[in-house]
Structure 1
Amino acid sequence: MSGVIGKAIDILDALVPQGMEKELSVTEISKLLDMPVQSAHRILNTLTQYGFVTQNSRTKKYKLGLSLMKYGFLMWDSLMFRSVARPYIEELSQKTRETVYLASRENNEGVYIDSIDSPQILKISEPIGLRLPLYIGASNRVILAYLPLKLQDQLLRGVDWAKVPSLKPLTLEYVKADLQRIRAQGYSVTNGEATEGTTGIAAPIFSYERTVVGSINVAGPELRFQADTIEKYSYYVKKYAGLISAELGYSGSSERA
């Protein structure tokens, strides 16, 4: 299987435009890659089926398809999101002296895509790439809270709450009530769900399409997050989440159906 995948990648590389649109026939691809015509044809058929390449109905030659463009745009959006957010999370970290995370949504999970560690000796430090279900932790649950209701229900339906990877017991009733609280106040606060002894405060980030795309989260040892601190940091996370959203082209209120 790995050999077939490698050949498919070779074909895609061969079709990458060099300054202008590029089309190749099966025979041309076979000669260029020293690959049997039958193998090239079979792989091209599969790539065409999934939209990674497309065939010109007139010339019968192949070129890259729209599926690659779609994934390219998704990667570009992710890189732009991180680039836009970086100076804001740096400033937020300086103001709070706590660890700040930037998270994005991938299907039913939240993923840390950037972070600034606290300069303090006692601090929270989770790895980039850490992913958890959207109902666990402040950075994830605040994203869930601003998804459309139908999608929320879909993501929560069928969860076995006795087996969720949270350090604190969670129930459907608790999570749904918390989602309402988050919507009412504009931010999320959780304690010890993803990391023991930790408090997280997160606010949502929206795109130009007025949909939630991620969150920023200030996190630190629970002992440093008293009521007045939580009030101050919740103001900061909402402020900087709003600035990032504005940079991404967001204006107005979030859509929720």
Structure 2
Amino acid sequence: MQVIDKAVEVLQLMANDPSKKFWRVTDVSNGLDMNVSTTHRLMQSLRNSGIIHQDNSTKKYSLGINFIYYGGIVREMNIPGIVIYPLMQRLYDELGETVFVTIKDRDNCVVLERINSYHQLRFVKRIGETLKLHEGACGKVILAYLPVSILDRTIERIVEGEEHYDIEKLKKTISEVREKGYLVEEVPKMDSTTFSAPVFSVEGNYVASLSVVIPKCRLTESKTSETIRVLKEIVAGFMVDTV
């Protein structure tokens, strides 16, 4: 099992830095603080299975083409992503901004589907991109609809090690999401604002978050009101049949 864990760490390192296309063994070894010979053996095994690719001339490694195949299977198996796509398309058609769907994966929210904006200045979302549940609007919407019995434990776990994190502020935000049915949150470091709302199953259970992110330079007061109206209208008129 330890070998599998280390192999997963290698793949996560390579996948989590999309700006770096090619990796030397020493890059991975240094990034994971792993012995060079161990890293080399792992990467050779991953190459032999087609999970990663090695260039014959440079000897550098990159993620393999098999990831497209496996990713396609996962997307086809994921009912929320398939069913909610028409909502994304409608929201995109109405606003022309980057739209994305996120689901809960342990203590993270993961981008399951996305349609990126056509504007030259835009925020590009990657399928598989992850954030901690308390780090963005989409994750806070997920937290808002967790069962009360596990909410406090989940919050304690995800903020562990963040000494100055304001848990009471997070809980207040969660309460506001439940009251309003959506969340609007500024992202100062990205100079943008994210709008998120929950999508429910026909049984009334939370399924996913539908979100749109808009650069501040295009966000007028009227567009803010319009975005909230359209988002609420779309999610209110749609429920996912998960059967």
Could you tell me the TM-score, scaled by structure 2's length? 0.63
Counterpart CA distance in 2 for 1:80 and 1:172 is 33
Partner of 2:147: 148
Show CA shifts across 1:60-115 (max 9, x none).
xxxxxxxxxxxxxxx69952211111122112101101100011111221110110
User: How far apart in 2 are the matches of 1:171 and 1:161?
Assistant: 12
Shift of 1:174: 1.2
Match of 1:201 among 195, 199, 207: 195
Aligned length, in residue pairs: 174
Letter of the 1:233 counterpart: T
CA distance in 2, matches of 1:104, 1:77: 15
In 2, Cα distance between the equivalents of 1:185 and 1:93? 22
Deviation at 1:161, TM superposition (A): 6.4
Mapped partners of 1:113, 1:154: distance in 2: 25
Q: CA separation in 2, counterparts of 1:92 and 1:187?
A: 15
Task: Quote the residue 2:127 is aligned against.
Answer: 128
Partner of 1:236: 230
Report the equivalent of 1:223: 217
* Cα 1:160/1:225, change in 2 over 3 Å: farther
Q: Secondary structure at the match of 1:151?
A: helix
Deviation at 1:171, TM superposition (A): 1.4
Q: Is the 8 A contact 1:161 1:171 kept in 2?
A: no
Aligned position for 1:102: 101
What secondary structure does 1:229 align onto?
Answer: helix
Residue identity in the other structure for 2:225: E
TM superposition shift of 1:222 = 2.1
Counterpart of 1:60?
none
Amino acid at match of 2:185: T
Structure 1 position 197, deviation (Å): 1.1
Could you say if the C-alpha distance between residues 85 and 125 of structure 1 is closer, same or farther in structure 2, counting changes exceeding 3 Å?
same
Q: Determine helix, strand or coil for the equivalent of 2:204.
A: coil
Which residue in 2 is equivalent to 1:187? Answer: 182
Partner of residue 10, structure 1: none
Measured in 1, the distance between the counterparts of 2:214 and 2:226 equals: 14
Q: What is the SS of the residue equivalent to 2:118? A: coil
Q: Is the 8 A contact 1:202 1:218 kept in 2?
A: yes
With the length of structure 1 as denominator, give the TM-score of the two structures.
Answer: 0.60
2:171 aligned to which of 164, 168, 176: 176
Match of 1:11 in 2: none
Question: Is 1:116 paired with 2:115?
Answer: yes
Shift of 1:206: 1.2
Give me the whole-angstrom Cα distance separating, in 1, the residues matched to 2:107 and 2:150.
10
User: Partners of 1:178 and 1:189 in 2: how far apart?
Assistant: 10
Gaps of 5+ in 1: 5-74, 164-168, 251-257
Q: Give the structure 1 partner of residue 37 of structure 2.
A: none
Aligned match of 2:61: none
CA contact (8 A) 2:141 2:183 kept: yes
Residue 241 (structure 2) aligns with: 248
Aligned AA for 1:215? S
Q: Matched residue of 1:157: which SS? A: helix
Does structure 2 retain, via aligned residues, the 8 Å contact 1:161–1:172?
no
Give the drift of 1:180.
1.1
Q: How far apart are the structure 2 equivalents of 1:229 and 1:190?
A: 15
Identical counterparts, % of pairs: 25
Kindly report structure 1 stretches of 4+ aligned residues shifted beyond 3 Å: 1-4, 75-78, 160-163
Opposite residue 225 of structure 1, the aligned amino acid is L
CA contact (8 A) 2:76 2:82 kept: no
Aligned-residue CA RMSD (Å)? 2.8
**CA–CA separation in structure 1 for the residues paired with 2:182 and 2:96:** 19
